Structure 1
Amino acid sequence: MNEISLADIINSALLLVTAFGVLAALWQIRVGARSQRATFLKDLYMQLRSDPAVVEAFYKIEYNEFEYGEDFHGSELEPKMDRLLTLIDLVCEMRAQRIMTKREMGFFEYSFGRVAQDQSVRAYLTYLNNFCTENRLQKKPFAAFQAYAQLK
């Protein structure tokens, strides 16, 4: 005869409680991960908008005040422009590695588009690419950004 003992009932109840606990833990991990991701994206976006060097370089581009020429190298603007391009390149590399989604990249679309379309930025990147080629360096500077913006 198949009788259900008290031990069977207790074991079944414990199994249900354990399963519920695992599901609750998985849900909590997912909520925590989404929250961390949102914070990470906000921090990236805020760096683009609040880092003084990045903001200055971006607004030079935004207001068509950036002119690439021989006097650019060694200027106060060069490290600021490099900082802006480095930040953009980092975000583009995360997209290339599928760490960021296409939707998440939408937050950066306008800014990155403005930088990518700027003729002086293109001239600077061309100079850097040529420098790397002439010196037999394998990796081009800001390669992820150039690939994302299809500047190669």
Structure 2
Amino acid sequence: MYQIGELAKACGINHDTLRFYEKNALLTPSHRSESGYRLYTEKDKEILQFILRAKSVGFTLAEIRELLSIEIDKANNACADVKVLVDTKLSEVEKKLAELIRFQTSLQRLSDACCGGTESAEDCTILEALESNTNTVRHEHHHS
């Protein structure tokens, strides 16, 4: 049996994180000591490690809750149920990556258009582009 601090340390997290997972109904201590301390079993540790691995690959708490419900009742769930969750998450990640690439391209275009010199920002192409309604960026060419 583990007390909260021992389990947290064994899993490389702090006890507040463990309490957070409890508060969000992802983990429940198996027992309480006579003095009221939370006590966790080896199975609780395995569940916490499952939660942490799922979190590390990007699943939200709600998604982890769903994965846990399948994990707990594997016999009454299909592999397809898990695959749908993973494929849905993968699709979300791909959309976010595409959005980040668009951000990167736009920011690179803004950076490339600016001379980055010590001149006044009154004619800064970055500021002008952010102020305008168009997507065009003119290139600065300052001559000292």
Taking structure 2 as the reference length, the TM-score comes to: 0.31
Q: Which has the higher contact order (CA 8 A, sep 6+)?
A: 1
Structure whose residues are more often helix by fraction: 1
Taking structure 1 as the reference length, the TM-score comes to: 0.30
